[in-house]
Amino acid sequence: MRRMGLSHGRMPDEALLTGLTTGDPELAVAFVRRFQRTVFGVALAVLGDPQLAEDVAQQTFERAWRHAQVYDSRRGSVRSWLTAIAHNLAIDTVRARRASPADPEDLDELLGIVTETPERRALADDSAERVRRAVAELPREQARALVMAGIYGMTAREVADAEDVPLGTAKTRIRTGTLKIRALLEAEEKR
């Protein structure tokens, strides 16, 4: 690509990801530099611990390198793929370290935090603002269920118990909230 006049900084995300599989150290460095703030930010937003977030960010890039060949652009951008990897690894870390579940009484306050500043600081780009707006548009009970499941890693059963609702209701809230957020983000991406 460089021979064609494109610097690594101007290469498309997909080209950098493909370059990861070739073992080119320059492309690997360019790939990490492009996404390091986003990946670290997602991990930090979930974990709240910079040291753990660094570990998760490192694991994210290792996983991206090992699985770059399975990336499918039809399912989303490279940024959203990496963000999903980082989020899933961070949730796994929370689950592994969790001694006791989050107190559902704190969720209203925490929900306000999730929809305001931590993601802005963490992601440092427009995707945080898009996610915050999408979560803010959800009905409160869907937003709470989605945050409990997505951020705190609670199972649908744990959400149902915490919210004192039937398991099916908790699953519906999580699924409906997820679908609404996906639709809102996809609609905004098409604009």
pLDDT tens digits along 122-139: 444 456 567 777 888 889
Q: Do 117 and 93 fall within a single domain?
A: no
pLDDT for res 91? 87
Question: What domain range includes position 164?
Answer: 104-189
Same domain, 47 and 22: yes
Amino acid at 29: V
Q: Are residues 79 and 154 in the same domain?
A: no
Last residue of a domain, one of 42, 67, 97: 97
- Domain co-membership, 42 together with 117: no
The total number of structural domains in the chain stands at: 2
Encoding tokens for residue 17? 């990801």
CB 122 within 8 A of CB 128: yes
Give 11-59 pLDDT, tens digit per residue.
Answer: 887 888 877 777 778 888 888 888 899 899 888 888 888 899 999 999 9
Tokens of 39: 């990946």
Last residue in a domain, options 97, 114, 145: 97
The answer to whether residue 5 sits within a structural domain is no
Helices and strands (H and E) in the chain: how many: 10, 0
Q: What phi, psi does 11 have (nearest 5°)?
A: -70, 145
Which residue is listed with tokens 């998760």?
56
Alpha-carbon distance of 121 to 124, in angstroms, equals: 5
